[in-house]
Amino acid sequence: MKKSDIHRIYELLEEAYRSMEEPSVTKISKQTKRDPFRVLVSCLISLRTKDEVTLASSEKLFAVADTPQKTLELTEEEIGKLIYPAGFYKTKAKTIKNICEILIEKYDGKVPHEIDELVTLKGVGRKTANLVVVEGYGRPAVCVDTHVHRIFNRLGYVKTKTPDKTEIELRKHLPEKYWIRINEILVAYGRSICRPVSPICSSCGLYELCDKVGVTTRR
């Protein structure tokens, strides 16, 4: 694809997204009116966990503890039970409690809004940090998960091997006005249309604009 096609591609993605299910972290962001803490925790719960489980687990935890202070009143076992059956729930419970301690000790109970600060928290990688900035603070950031990485490479917009490299390239070339929405849109699109294996190209509005890099079988 040509770099200049990105504006038309974004329009088509926005149009398709209207009929798709929002990602769980976006739902949490809307439900909490962009509470950075609950966005951060739901991001941590979401790792290697199905979207519907992430939402249910997050809501169960937040019904009991929705601040770092309240969360620290719970034991790791109690947190684990509340977020179960999220994947690696015991490890995540420990991570959540550890982060709450740091937030209170170092940040007066507030979640930092800078990427470089967020990634110093144990368990927070660049994807999570960027998503917290976007969904928790409504600020432009390039959140690259497997869907964003896969789709932009398939389109031919970037040619990268890792999500971190994709983030670097998108920061250079993707217009900033698209940064906030692009992750939630492509997560939904990647689950329903541009799937990892055998994407449903016959239902894709981007078909004529997409280079289909690496696509060997499609529907």
**pLDDT per residue over 171-208, tens digit each?**
999 999 999 999 999 999 999 999 999 999 999 999 99
Does 211 fall in a domain? no
**Does one domain contain both 115 and 59?**
yes
How many Cα atoms are found within 13 Å in the side-chain-facing hemisphere of 114? 4
* 115, 137, 159 - which closes a domain: 137
Please compute the mean of the pLDDT values over residues 110-118 and round it to a whole number.
Answer: 97
Report d(CA 32, CA 136) in Å as an integer.
Answer: 9
**Residue 143 and residue 180 in contact, taking contact as beta carbons nearer than 8 Å:** no
**Does one domain contain both 10 and 51?**
no
**Does one domain contain both 180 and 194?**
yes
Q: What is the pLDDT of residue 168?
A: 97
Token pair for residue 99? 């982060």
Does 93 fall in a domain? yes
For residue 160, give the CATH number of its domain: 1.10.1670.10
pLDDT digits (tens, 9 = 90+) for 135-145: 999 999 999 99
Does 47 fall in a domain? yes
**Does one domain contain both 31 and 116?**
yes
Query: What does the DSSP assignment read for 66-130?
Result: -SHHHHHTS-HHHHHHHHTTSTTHHHHHHHHHHHHHHHHHHHTT----SHHHHTTSTT--HHHHH
Does 213 fall in a domain? no
**Does one domain contain both 29 and 129?**
yes
**Does one domain contain both 50 and 123?**
yes
**Does one domain contain both 147 and 195?**
yes
Domain count, the chain: 2
Report d(CA 134, CA 29) in Å as an integer.
Answer: 10
Q: What is the residue range of 199's domain?
A: 3-21+141-203
pLDDT digits (tens, 9 = 90+) for 63-106: 999 999 999 999 999 999 999 999 999 999 999 999 999 999 99
Residue 215 sits at φ, ψ, to 5 deg, of -85, 115
Does 184 fall in a domain? yes
**Residue 17 and residue 182 in contact, taking contact as beta carbons nearer than 8 Å:** no
Q: What is the pLDDT of residue 83?
A: 98
Does 217 fall in a domain? no
**Does one domain contain both 117 and 153?**
no
For residue 38, give the CATH number of its domain: 1.10.340.30
Kindly list the catalytic residues: 127, 145
**Does one domain contain both 152 and 128?**
no
Q: In terms of Cα–Cα distance, which of 15, 30, 18 is closest to 136?
A: 30
Does 105 fall in a domain? yes
* 117, 137, 157 - which closes a domain: 137
